[in-house]
Amino acid sequence: MAEMIVEKELYEPCDLEELLHCFLSLNSLHHHSTIISAFSEIWDALFLNTTVGEQYPQAIEKGNKENARL
């Protein structure tokens, strides 16, 4: 999931929220908690510079530039 976000350059919060809604709509309620948990980890990593951000520094760099504009 993180690789797809980085590959598609989805670093804006609204883009990630849209992707989350897409995943939730395409999957059964049974999987929603797992999907939300994964997105929470990715969100924290991209915006708090943790695990995923360490694996994908280009995401952090671009995400920080985008967030600086907000």
Instruction: Provide the residue ranges of all domains of the chain, joining segments of one domain with +.
Output: 2-69
Work out the burial of residue 43: count CB atoms within 10 Å of its CB; fewer than 13 is exposed, 13-18 middle, 19 or more buried: middle
Q: What is the pLDDT of residue 61?
A: 54
Radius of gyration of the chain (CA): 12
Task: Give, for all 70 residues of the chain, the pLDDT tens digit.
Answer: 788 888 888 888 889 889 999 999 999 999 999 999 998 888 888 777 644 445 445 554 554 454 444 4
- Please list, in sequence order, all residues whose beta carbon lies within 8 angstroms of the beta carbon of residue 63, skipping any fewer than 6 positions away: 11, 46, 47, 53
